Structure 1
Amino acid sequence: MKILWVDDHELLCVALSEYLQTHASELSATPIDVTPVFTLARALEEVNKAPPPDLVFLDLNLDDENRGAATLEHFQAGNPSKVPVVVCTGLTPGNDQEVEILRVCMRDYAARGILLKGGAHKKMFIGLSRILGGELWIPEEVLLRFARSTQAPSASRNEHHLGLSPREWDVGRCIARGLSGKQIARELNVTEGHVRQVSCVIYDKLRVRNRVEAALRVNAELGGGSGPDKGPS
Structure 2
Amino acid sequence: MKILWVDDHEILCVALSEYVQTHASELGATPIEVTPVFTLASALEEVTKAPPPDLVFLDLTLDGDNRGATTLERFQAGNSSNVPVVICTGLGLGNDHDIEILRMCMRDYAARGILLKGGAHKKMFIGLSRILGGELWIPEEVLLRFTCSAQAPSASPNQRHLGLSPREWDLARCIARGLSGKQIARELNVSEGHVRQVSCVIYDKLQVRNRVEAALRVNAELALGREAADKGLS
Give the TM-score, by structure 1 length: 0.92
Give 1:215's aligned residue: 215
* Aligned residues of 2:156 and 2:166 also touching (Cα < 8 A): no
**Residue 109 of structure 1: how far off its partner (Å):** 0.7
In structure 2, the residue matched to 1:46 is 46
Query: Which whole-Å CA distance do the structure 1 matches of 2:203 and 2:64 have between them?
Result: 41
Q: Distance in 2 between matches of 1:44 and 1:29?
A: 24
Deviates more, 1:183-192 or 1:4-13: 183-192
Q: Which runs of structure 2 are paired with 1:151-230 in the superposition (5 Å)?
A: 151-153=151-153, 155=155, 159-224=159-224
Equivalence for 1:129: 129
What's the counterpart of residue 96 of structure 1? 96
**Distance in 2 separating the partners of 1:128 and 1:93:** 20
- Stretches of structure 2 that go unaligned for 5 or more consecutive residues are 228-234
Cα distance 1:100–1:46, how it changes in 2: closer, same or farther (>3 A)? same
> How far is the alpha carbon of 1:64 from its aligned partner?
4.6
Structure 2 Cα separation of the partners of residues 24 and 37 of structure 1:
19
What residue number does 2:230 align with? none
Rounded Cα–Cα distance in structure 2 between residues aligned with 1:80 and 1:156: 45
Query: Is 1:144 matched up with 2:119?
Result: no
Shift of 1:95: 1.4
Partner of 2:76: 76
User: Alignment length, in residue pairs?
Assistant: 226
Matched position secondary structure for 1:35: strand
1:21 aligns with 2:21: yes
The structure with higher relative contact order (CA 8 Å, sep 6+) is 1
Q: CA deviation at 1:157?
A: 10
Q: Is the 8 A contact 1:55 1:84 kept in 2?
A: yes
Gaps of 5+ in 1: 227-233
State the partner residue of 1:231. Answer: none
Deviation for aligned residue 1:220 = 0.7
Q: Corresponding residue for 2:231?
A: none
**Post-superposition offset of 1:30:** 2.4
**2:155 and 2:169 in contact (8 A); partners too:** no
Contact 1:159 1:169 in 2 (8 A): no
Distance in 1 (alpha carbons) for counterparts of 2:89 and 2:30: 25
Give the AA of the match of 2:38.
Answer: F
CA contact (8 A) 1:164 1:202 kept: yes
Alpha-carbon deviations, 1:3-28, whole Å to 9, x = none?
Answer: 00001111111111111111111112
What displacement does 1:154 show? 6.5
The 8 Å contact of residues 60 and 66 in structure 1, kept in 2 or not, is answered as yes
Give the aligned CA root-mean-square deviation in angstroms: 1.7
Q: Quote the offset at 1:65 in angstroms.
A: 4.2
Q: Secondary structure of 1:12's partner?
A: helix
1:219 is displaced (CA, Å) by 0.5
Please report the TM-score for the alignment, with normalisation by the length of structure 2: 0.91
Bigger shift: residues 90-99 or 53-62: 90-99
Letter paired with 1:35: T
